[in-house]
Structure 1
């Protein structure tokens, strides 16, 4: 299985679990956006589309924060168009950013509330400053995904100081095992 790492705002830095996973998963690559600090919805979705269409192996999309919203937007758009590549096996979505409530990323709003066209799961945190666990639970339900509660880990980002984030690797293995 290949893992396409999809960072959020400011491109998950060197101490972010996504950076560790990019290096440590047996087969992983990473999406690179042109502008990380002033994201534009259409540009981010189009860039993600280009990276996804370059994948040749069976792939799980591994998204964080604004990368989750970008991934959901892409999945629903490609699903409506019937253009999701058959090698995209699922989406592992970690702590979505609440683009409806965070001013500098509101151009990504609204967060879609439709069933996703591929198997997916959402990981939420009990004390995420960017989306409450209740909202994560709501989106997991409307997206038709499984929810993993990671406990009180903040936004599950560099500030959470998780290194490889072994708990997340277990969630990923459990999700992948159910595909």
Structure 2
């Protein structure tokens, strides 16, 4: 990769952000090229505001980016890529790891979140991996498989790990970092 800038990873948490024990926060502490996208309101997510914030973060990046998205961050990436991003921003995206995409039709979906349904089910214009759990209360396996198929993603089921968050006991989640690294280093 001589002569090229290192890819940075834009970290996209979901509803209420990601706390100290969450794998996203731990990855940020381990690697300075991981940068959290600061959404305008973590407790009352608005699709338009979140997508515009993501668009500004990608536009400001001086190197290709990879997304490490969790939960509502996954839907933000899908909406951004299909409805907000221009060609210049899309060209900067090397890939996305989309972990535990939530189903807006599920009873547990945050009522404070607005504009995230219906989920775009069109192919994303960059390589993606969708990671899901067999017992995620926010989005079941059929939903994550539907998203992965529509988005053109590699799909990985990690078994019964809940919402793949701090409560899942993943620690630094080395396996997930390896999947992300494969997106970061892909040509």
Q: TM-score, normalised by structure 1?
A: 0.92
Q: How does 1:67-86 map to 2 (within 5 A)?
A: 67-78=73-84, 81-86=86-91
Gaps of 5+ in 1: none
- Contact 1:3/1:27 (<8 A) preserved: yes
User: 1:134 and 2:139 equivalent?
Assistant: no
The match for 2:104 among 99, 106, 121 is 99
Q: How does 1:97-176 map to 2 (within 5 A)?
A: 97-101=102-106, 102=109, 104=111, 105=113, 107-176=115-184
State the secondary structure of the residue aligned to 1:96.
Answer: coil
- Contact 1:99/1:106 (<8 A) preserved: no
- Contact 2:46/2:114 (<8 A) preserved: no
- Partner residue in 1 for 2:3: none
Query: How far, CA to CA, are the matches of 2:159 and 2:114 in structure 1?
Result: 27
Gaps of 5+ in 2: 1-6
Aligned residues: 178
User: 1:88 and 2:93 equivalent?
Assistant: yes
- Contact 2:18/2:24 (<8 A) preserved: yes
Residue 173 of structure 1 and its aligned partner are, at CA, apart by: 2.7
User: 1:6 and 2:9 equivalent?
Assistant: no
Residue 87 of structure 1 and its aligned partner are, at CA, apart by: 2.5
CA RMSD, aligned part only?
Answer: 1.7
After superposition, the C-alpha distances for 1:90-137 in whole angstroms (9 at most, x for unaligned) are 111111011232251353111111011111111111111111112111
Query: How far, CA to CA, are the matches of 2:58 and 2:185 in structure 1?
Result: 22
Larger deviation, residues 131-140 vs 97-106: 97-106
- Partner residue in 2 for 1:51: 57
Q: TM-score, normalised by structure 2?
A: 0.88
Query: How far, CA to CA, are the matches of 2:88 and 2:124 in structure 1?
Result: 14
Query: How far, CA to CA, are the matches of 2:149 and 2:104 in structure 1?
Result: 18
Q: Are residues 177 and 115 of structure 1, via their aligned partners in 2, closer, same or farther at CA, if it must alter by over 3 Å?
A: same
Residue 162 of structure 1 and its aligned partner are, at CA, apart by: 1.6
